[in-house]
Amino acid sequence: MRIYLSVDMEGISGVTRWQDVIASGQDYQRARSWMTADVNAAIAGARDAGATEFVVEENHGVEMLCNLLLDEIDPTVDVVRGIPRGGSTTAAALDGSFDAVFLIGHHAKAGDHVGFGAHTISYENYREVRLLGRPISEGEIFAVIAAQVGVPVALIAGDDVVCAEMQSVCPGIVTAEVKRALSTTGGWIIPPARAQEIIRKKARKATKQVRKGSIPMHQLPPRIAMEIELRTSMTGAVQDSIAEFHPEFTVKDDRTLMFEHEQMAVAYRMACIAGTLAEKGRVKRY
């Protein structure tokens, strides 16, 4: 039984504020250790329930997506990290060979004013990311990518806000709530050692549910039409450049880019480069 783990950092046990997840923060090195331990807890729980193979892919966009501590992680797993990866940004290793996806340390979506480090893709540049006009989280983006290759998302580990969000879009998902948000930078924290026991227990439960076939696949949207609403306006020159060199994007207004694609994996990559496009008007092909 193969498990794919996408690991982010804002939703990791112990992490409280943005400074915890950037290299200059006083607790960043400790947070890397908490992050690795949360992953290990999920792996241990899944192994308890019969999973045998694990691939961990880093999704946290600082330090070129190299945040896990490789000398502390379970030595039996494979890890995908660094950029570029030659695939769909941070879901490059996800394919139909896996039995389930675990989302570890994921966070609430952009626009949520309660939720530790709430954002979607870009903390600084994106006010909101929408699918068919509805705000979407990174976790749901991964759920769509997974569903398109026939893999269910079985576990979410993070704060109460992202757990509730993922339950609403992925009925049947098992939630491991490791903290409760009171704002984007504060709330009730469960110390990592105790939180990791929660993750291990819930990962065991999720794996058992997968083996029973009781985790439903995420329901695919009728089409993948996305909008990126920026925090700052694009200049007229940038808008003209996008129209000339990137007709796959539509400028809805001076703060919003629209695009469609059949595959969410590609749409995710397009969403990731939209911020650079909005600044420069032209980027290398993705």
Q: What is the mean pLDDT of residues 71-79?
A: 98
Q: For the full predicted model, state whether its pTM sits above 0.85.
A: yes
Long-range contacts, stretch 277-284, CB < 8 angstroms, 24+ apart: 277/242, 277/246, 277/249, 278/125, 278/228, 278/230, 278/234, 278/238, 278/242, 279/238, 280/238, 280/241, 281/237, 281/238, 281/239, 281/240, 281/241, 281/242, 281/245, 282/241, 282/242, 282/245, 282/246, 283/246
* pLDDT band with cut points at 50, 70 and 90 for residue 86: confident
Q: What is the mean pLDDT of residues 19-24?
A: 96
**Statement: residue 87 has pLDDT above 80:** no
* pLDDT band with cut points at 50, 70 and 90 for residue 99: very high
**Statement: residue 282 has pLDDT above 90:** no
**Statement: residue 199 has pLDDT above 90:** yes
Rounded alpha-carbon distances, angstroms, from residue 26 to 15, 29, 46, 70, 86 = 12, 8, 32, 21, 33
pLDDT digits (tens, 9 = 90+) for 126-135: 999 999 999 9
* pLDDT band with cut points at 50, 70 and 90 for residue 284: confident
Contact indicator for 98, 75 with CB cutoff of 8 Å = no
Query: Which residue from 261, 248, 252 is spatially nearest to 234, judged by alpha carbons?
Result: 252
Q: Quote the pLDDT of residue 33.
A: 98
CATH number of 2-124+137-212: 3.40.50.10780
Contact indicator for 13, 180 with CB cutoff of 8 Å = no
pLDDT digits (tens, 9 = 90+) for 200-222: 999 999 999 999 999 999 999 99
Q: What is the average pLDDT value for the chain, to the nearest integer?
A: 96
Q: Quote the pLDDT of residue 109.
A: 97
Q: Quote the pLDDT of residue 286.
A: 64
* pLDDT band with cut points at 50, 70 and 90 for residue 233: very high
Q: Quote the pLDDT of residue 189.
A: 95
Q: Quote the pLDDT of residue 16.
A: 96
Q: What is the mean pLDDT of residues 159-178?
A: 97
